[in-house]
Chain A
Amino acid sequence: MKLRLNNLKKSYGSRAVLDVERCEIPSGAITGLIGPNGAGKTTLMNIIAGLDAPESGEVLYGLKDGSFSPDLPKKAVTMLFQTPYMLHTTVEKNIAYPLQLRRAEREVIKRRVKNLMDDFDLTPLAKNKAWRLSGGETQKVALARAVALKPELLLLDEPTSNIDNTSVAVIEKTLDYERNKHKMTSVIISHNLAQIRRLCDYVIFMHEGRIIEQGDAKEILSKPADPRTKAFIAGELLL
C-alpha cells in the first residue's frame, strides 16, 4: 500500500511536533523511520494509523486500483507497539482474536492460528497466559496477531527495542518474508541503525518534526546529503 502525506501539521500547545510538507512511502517495501527522540516519528505513525488526527493536511492511502483515498482502510492497516497489549487470555486466543473480529470461519481460524504459531515458534506456548510472557515472546505473539489479518500496511513503533536477539531475528525474518511473499508494506521506527540497514529498502530521516531527507536506504545510510542526517548516522547527539 502506497502512502502519500500532504502538508501534515500537528502541535501540542504552542510546540509544533510535526510539519511534513510532502512525502511518499513506497508500496511493497520496508521503510525505516529514523531520527532522534522527539523528532515526530511516533506522532507521524499514529496519524497514519488513525490513532491521532493532524491539525491540517492529509494522509492518502493507495488502493489496489491505483487511486488514493483519504479514508483509513481499517481492515488493511495494523500497528505493532513497543509494549504490545496482550488480551487476558491464552496465546492462541490472542492470535485468533482479529480473525474472530472478521467473522472468519472456525476451521479457517484454527488452521491460520496453527500455522502462525508454528512460524513464530509459539506452539509450545499456545495455552499459556499471554500477559505473562517475556518481552520477546510477547512481541512475537503481537506480530503473529497483526499478520494474521494479512494487512497491506504494517506500522511498527520500535518493536524490537527491549527484546532478545532470537526474537528480533524472528520478527525481521517475518517482515522480510511478508514483503517478498505478500508485497506487504511496512514502516518501522527503530533506533537500531544496523537493523535499518538489514531490513529497509527506503529510509526517512526526521528531525524536529520535519522530514530532512528521504530515499533509498543504502544511499541515505552511506551517503547522506544533509549534515544532520550525516551526524545522526555517525552517532552524534542531535540536540
Chain B
Amino acid sequence: MDYIFDGIVQAIGLILSGDPVIFEVVGLSLRVSGTSVLIAVLIGIPLGILIGTREFIGKRVLLRIIYTCMSLPPVILGLFVFLILMRQGPLGAYQLNYTPTAMIIAQTLLVTPIVMGLTYNIVRDRAKDVGRLGKTLGGTGVSNVFLMLREVKGGLVIALVSAFGRAISEVGAVMIVGGNITGKTRVMTTYIAELRSMGDYSQAIAVGIILLLLSLIVNTILYQFQQRDEK
C-alpha cells in the first residue's frame, strides 16, 4: 500500500517542483489531444448537424458506420493509421510515423465519429422544432444554422467533453503510431505504461494522478459552461 501513498506524495512533489520531464509529457498530451478534438469539432459538428437535419439515401447505413466507429478499438485504428503512414504505405512519403502529427491523425480519426454521432443525436431531437421556428420567423439558411447551434450548445459541450476524455486517456493508438519516444512522442498514457513496465509504480501513479487532475479541470470548466447555459 505504501507505493500508492508514495505515488500521491510524488505527484504533488512533481507538480510543485515543475519537473521538466513531466511538464513536457503533459504539454504534448494536451497539444495532441487538444488539436485532435479541435479538428474533430470542426469536422464533426457541421456534419452532425447536416445529418441530423437532412434526409438522404444511405443515411441509415451512414449512421450505423458512425455508431460503429464511435466504439472503435484504438489499437485497431492505430494499426490502420500506422499502415497508411508507414514507409511503404500510401502516405509513406511524408514520414509521419513516430511524430506528434501521426498521433494527432490517429486521435482525430478516433474522436471525430464521437463528436459527429453525439451532435447528430442532439440535433435530431430538436431539428424539427427549431427548423420550423426559424422558418416561420423568416430566418435564412445561415441564421437557422446559428439558431440550431445556439439551441444545442449545452449538448455540444457534452460531445466536446466526451471527445476530450476519449483522446487524453487513449493509449493504444498513440503508442502504435507515436512509439513513446522520449522527448518526442511520449504522452502521459504511454509514459504510465512505460513506468509500469519498468516497475516504477510510484512515478506511474504520480503521472496518473496528474492525468486525472487534468481531466477533472477540463471537465469542470466545460461543465460550468454548460450549467451556466442551462440557468
Contact = CB atoms under 8 A, between A and B. Distances in A.
Contacts of A50: 135
Interface residues of A, number: 20
Interface string B129-156: 1101101111100010001001100100
A145 B151 CA distance: 17
A69 to B, nearest CB: 16
Contact of B136 (A51, A87, A88, A102): A51
A117 B34 CA distance: 45
Nearest to A142: B133
Interface string A62-87: 00000000000011011101001101
A60 to B, nearest CB: 19
A147 B133 CA distance: 14
A88 B151 contact: yes
Chain A's interface: helix, strand, loop or mixed, by majority? mixed
A79 B132 CA distance: 9
User: Residue among B126, B137, B150 with the most chain A CB within 10 A?
Assistant: B137
A78 B137 contact: yes
A239 interface: no
B135 A85 contact: no
A184 interface: no
Given A85-B126, A85-B130, 5 more contacts: A74-B138, A87-B150, A88-B150, A98-B137, A101-B138
28 contacts: A49-B135, A50-B135, A51-B135, A51-B136, A74-B138, A75-B138, A77-B136, A78-B136, A78-B138, A79-B136, A81-B132, A85-B126, A85-B129, A85-B132, A85-B133, A87-B133, A87-B147, A87-B151, A88-B150, A88-B229, A88-B230, A98-B137, A98-B138, A101-B138, A101-B139, A145-B137, A146-B137, A149-B138
Interface of B: 126, 129-130, 132-133, 135-139, 143, 147, 150-151, 154, 229-230
